[in-house]
Amino acid sequence: MLVPKTLIDSYRNVTVRQATTQVWAANNTPIQIDGEVDLPIMLEEDCLRTRALVSEDVEEVMLGSDWVKTYNCIWDFGQGNLSIRGQPAVILSCRKHIKCRRVIVQEFQQIPPRTEVDVMARVTVSSMRAPAAEALTEAVVLKPGLYVGRTLLPAEKRNLRVCVVNTTIEAQTIAAGTCLGNTSSVAAVINGSEDSDVTTASDNKFVADIIEEAVKKLPDTVDAKQKRQVEELLQEHRNLFSGGTYDMGRTNLVQHSIGTGSHRPIRQALRRHPYAHLDDIDRQVQGLLENDLIEPAASPWASNVVLVKKKDGTFRLRVDYRRLNDVTYKDSYPLQHIDTC
């Protein structure tokens, strides 16, 4: 019999002994055994003394074949009945099957202020038969200012590194056994279609032009060898550059809010634009919609769009937030002068 370690920890009078037994799941995944205990299982007035193995890798009690044989169990799967030593047992079923794999902190961790740290964690076993596979942790808010970032985990159960960010000005602690959230299954995309969000040739050329222009602007004191090193460094981290107008990153770890106090919503009347600019506005707004950068909304707040002419003669779409800025409470972040740092 396998029992969860969390269940044993909830009882103070249960002694856990050291165990040398090794257990593997049906998918050949080793299950860590933290010890063994003697449990009294009551069936009516009959006490069934049971030796059980304790594991933090499981979340439910699992009956072993040896226990079933020892107590002459008969399980009628057709009728859903279980008898133990000839006596009927009450079967309690879950409302749903547990499919998720929980991510658990392995050891105590202290995270310094305004720091990102890889926390050592483990995952629970969700299936004894399905082969182990890579998984993804979702972004989770542990507490105000402490966030779990999305992390791709290998097909392992222990010593996994999960990204945790402390955005506060004080050190934060995470106790061993803290749940960092659940994992989601992932699939590798080998061949993307033409309509997928894969980096296109035009995006690659856009980034290449940026890198080439940056190398050209290096001062004359930089020799040819150093220029090559700079270019290699930029090429190595080319994914940090935007590949086009709509290639923008975003985070769901922090939600931005604009504080206007009790001020009434500002709703500007629709401003008329030159007829020659209407097609350009429609095109850019449609591009933002198609790339999921904006979404239709019905709000008491409304500000007009403005077209700003760029050096190359094209127009940049902007929003006129001046009236909103006038009623927004400003956060004060004093900065030192650069010459005093």
Tokens of 16: 């856990």
pLDDT at 193: 45
pLDDT at 194: 42
| Under-70 pLDDT residues of the chain | 26-29, 91-100, 125-132, 188-203, 333-334, 341
**Nearest-angstrom CA–CA distance, 141 and 203:** 34
pLDDT at 306: 92
pLDDT at 94: 54
* 54-79 pLDDT per residue, tens: 887 777 788 888 888 888 888 887 87
pLDDT at 44: 76
